[in-house]
Structure 1
Amino acid sequence: MVTPCPSSPASPTARAGRRDNDQHLRAPVKKSRRPRLRRKQPLQSLRPCQVPGDSGICDLFESPSSGSDGADSPAASVARGCSPQPGPVQPLAPLDLQTFRDYGQSCYAFRRAQESRFHPLESLARQPQVTPESRCKLLSWLIPVHRQFSLSFESLCLTVNILDRFLATTPVAADCFQLLGVTSLLIACKQVEVHPPRVKQLLALCCGAFSQQQLCNLECIVLHKLHFSLGAPTISFFLEHFTHARVEAGQAEVSQALEAQALARGVAELSLANYAFTSYAPSLMAICCLALADSMLQLRHPLDLRLGGHPEAVLQDCLGKLQLLVAINRTSLTHMLPLEICEKCSLAPCSK
C-alpha cells in the first residue's frame, strides 16, 4: 500500500492553509485610549464633617488616626478622667413676647393636654436591679455631662423623661444602666440641639465600657419601646411659659422674671435626680420651682400657685419637698447659678 506523501511547503494547498492560519495568528490592532488622569497627591484620610454632632455617621467614615476630637472638645477633657468636669453656667435666652402673644396660649394648651400621656408613674416598679439610689447616681453624673457639652436645660429634662419612660416599660440590667443614660441623652439631643454630641464622645465618657454597636442597638430598642413619641412636655417648657406669662401680664419686670427663671431652673435641676419628684407633673414642678424662687428672691409679686389649676394640697406638698431639697443641697445649688443671683437670694455666698 502506497502512503501519500505530505504536501510540500511550496505546494498550493500548503500556502492556502498557511494564509488561513495567519489570519488567526495575526496580532490585534492596538486601540487608541484616552489619557489617564492621575492624582498628583495621594488620597487623604476621610475627615468628619465640619458640623459636629450627628447620629454617628461621621464616626463610621472616620479613620482612627484622623483625630476628630480636638484638644478643646468636651470629650477630650472628659475622657481623660472618665468623669465630667463642671461646665459654665448657661445664660438665659431673652424673652420673645411677640411670639408668646401669637402662639403662647395655644402651645401651652396643647402641651398641658399631652402632659399625662408622657408622664411616667412609678418607673422603677418593674426594675429588679435599678433602684432609686442608682437612678440618682446616674442622673447626678449626667447633669455635669450636659453642662460640659453646653446643652440646653430642655435636653436634660427630655433625657430624664426618655429614661424614666423606658424604665417603666422594660427591665434593665445594672451593668447596662449607664449605657441607657447616654443613649437617652443622645436621643434627646437629636430632638432639641442643633449640634448633638457624637457617639464617639459619649462612649468616651463611659471609659470604653460599651461599643458603638451596642449604643446604636439600644437606641433602636428605646425608640421602638417609646413608639417614636419623643415630644414630651418638660419642666423647661413650662418654666419659659410661666415666665413669659407673668411679664406679659405686668406682674414682674423682665430682669426679675429672668432671675427667677434661672433660680427655678437650678431648683428643678436638683429635683431631676430625686426619684421622689417623679410623681409630680412637669407643669406642677415648674410652678412650685418658680414660687420657691420668688420667695428666695423676695419678689413683691410672687407667682400665683393656682396658675396651673393643680390642687392646693398637691402644690403645698411639692413645695415643701422642694424647700427641703434646697436646704440640703444649698452648696450644690450655688454652683448652678450666676454670681449675682447667689448674692440676691438667701443662699450662702458662692465661691466662683
Structure 2
Amino acid sequence: MEALCNLLQLWLNPRSIINSLFKFPTINYYSSEYKTNLNQNETREGKIQLCNYLTSHSSITPRVRASLVNLMVEVHQKLRLSPETLYLTVSIFDRFLSKETVPMEEAKLVGMCAMHIASNYGVFDPLLELQELTVIWMLTYTIRDVLRMKNRILKRLELSLNVPTPHTYLFRYINIERTDHETECMIYFFSELALMQHSLIKMCPSLIAASCVHAARCRLKKYPLWTEALQGGTKYSEPQLLECTGILVEAHSQAPKSILNAVYEKYSLDKFKKVALHAPVSSTSRTAEPTRLLV
C-alpha cells in the first residue's frame, strides 16, 4: 500500500520524480556563504543593463509594460502561485525584452510564457497546462506558437533563471527586525507596487527590497525608520534609499485612482490586513537637501 501511495504521488507531482533522482543541497539562507554568492550573482546578473531597454521598443511603452505586469498580478493571484513566481515572471519578461525587440501584439505572449517558465521553475507551484494558461490570458495563439516563444525566451536567456529578485532579499530583510504581520503585508505591498514601476528597473533588487522595508516603516510609523540592524543587514544607509522610497510612496499615492489597480485591490483584502487602504505617506518637494519623508 505504501509503495502504491508513493507511485500515486509521483504521478500527481512529476517534480517529485526529479527530486527523487537528484539530491539537492540544503541551503542556509542566513549563512555568510549564501549572502556572498547572492551579492556576486546580483552584480553579475543585476538589472543595470535593463536601464533604458524600453527606449528601444517603439510600441512597448512604460504604460504598456505596467498594464502587462498588472495582468501578471491578477493571473498570479487567481492561480494562487507562489510569491517567488510573480517576481521571477517579471524578471524573465524584462530580461528578455532587454535583449530582443518584439511588436506590442506579442508582448502579452511573452508575459504568459514568462509566467509558465517561472511557475515550472518554482517547486511550490501547481503544474500549469499551457492550454489553460492561454485561456486565462485570453490569447489566440496556437500551442505551437506558445512553445516557439517559450523556446525563444529560454534560448535568449541561456537558461539562466536563477537570478536575484527583490523577493530574494525580502526573505532576509523582513527578519532583521521583529516584524508583525501588518508590517510584513505592507512591505510586500510596496514590493509588488515596485514591479509596476519602470523607473525601478535600473535599480538593484537588494536596493528595491531595502526601500520597501523603509517605505513600510515610514507608513506605519516604526521608529526609528531605519535602524543600525537594518543598515548592517542590508548594507544600505537611509540616504541611499530615499530616491527609491520616494518612487514607492508616489506609487502608493497614485494607486487608489489608477485603473491598473491589481496590487492595490489585492492588498485591500482582509488577508493582507487592508494595508493598501492606509493613507499614503506625503513627501516634500525635492530641494538641494536630501528628500525627507513626512509621516
TM-score for the superposition, normalised by structure 1: 0.63
Counterparts of 1:157 and 1:298, CA distance in 2? 27
Aligned-pair distance for 1:176?
A: 0.8
* Equivalent-residue separation in structure 2 for 1:149 and 1:52 (angstroms): 17
Gaps of 5+ in 2: 1-9, 16-25, 281-295
* Whole-angstrom distance in 1 between the partners of 2:164 and 2:209: 11
How far apart are the structure 1 equivalents of 2:135 and 2:108? 12
Separation in structure 2 between the aligned mates of residue 225 and residue 102 of structure 1, nearest angstrom: 29
- What is the aligned counterpart of 1:316 among 242, 248, 258? 242
2:182 aligned residue: 259
Q: CA deviation at 1:334?
A: 5.5
User: Partner residue of 1:290?
Assistant: 213
Given that 2:268 and 2:275 are in contact with CA atoms closer than 8 Å, whether structure 1 keeps it comes out as no
Tell me if 1:108 matches 2:35: yes
Distance 1:226 1:311 in 2: 33
Q: CA deviation at 1:214?
A: 0.8
Checking the alignment, whether the CA contact within 8 Å between 2:51 and 2:201 is kept in structure 1 is: yes
Between the aligned partners of 1:144 and 1:102, the Cα distance in structure 2 is 29
Amino acid at match of 2:149: L
CA contact (8 A) 1:126 1:170 kept: no
1:139 to 49, 52, 69: 69
Partner residue in 2 for 1:86:
none
What is the aligned-residue identity percentage? 21
Q: How far 1:140 moved relative to its partner? A: 1.0
Q: Is the 8 A contact 1:297 1:345 kept in 2?
A: no
Q: 1:342 aligns with which of 253, 274, 277?
A: 274
Q: Summarize the Cα distance change of 1:279–1:221 in structure 2 as closer, same or farther, 3 Å threshold.
A: same
Change in Cα spacing, 1:160 to 1:311, as seen in structure 2 (3 Å) is same
Amino acid at match of 2:196: A
TM-score, scaled relative to structure 2 = 0.75
Distance 2:223 2:277 in 1: 14
Out of 295, 304, 325, which is 2:251 matched to?
Answer: 325
Counterpart Cα distance in 2 of 1:280 and 1:303: 20
2-structure distance, mates of 1:235, 1:342: 22
Question: What is the CA–CA distance in structure 2 between the aligned matches of 1:168 and 1:344, rounded to whole Å?
Answer: 31
Q: How many corresponding residue pairs?
A: 248
Give the C-alpha shift of residue 126 in structure 1: 2.5
C-alpha distance in 2 between matches for 1:187 and 1:125: 26
Q: 1:235 Cα shift? A: 1.0
Change (3 A) 1:199 1:121: same
Q: 2:204 aligns with which of 281, 291, 300?
A: 281
> Highest CA radius of gyration, 1 or 2?
1
**Contact 2:28–2:34 (CA under 8 A) maintained in structure 1:** no
Q: Classify 1:102/1:162 alpha carbon distance in 2 versus 1 (closer, same or farther; 3 Å).
A: closer
Q: Determine the C-alpha separation between the residues in 1 that align with 2:27 and 2:111.
A: 33
User: For residue 124 of structure 1, what is the aligned residue in structure 2?
Assistant: 54
Deviation of 1:107 (Å): 2.2
Q: Which has the higher helix share?
A: 2
Structure 1 counterpart of 2:12, which letter? V
Given candidates 230, 237, 254, the residue that maps to 2:168 is 237
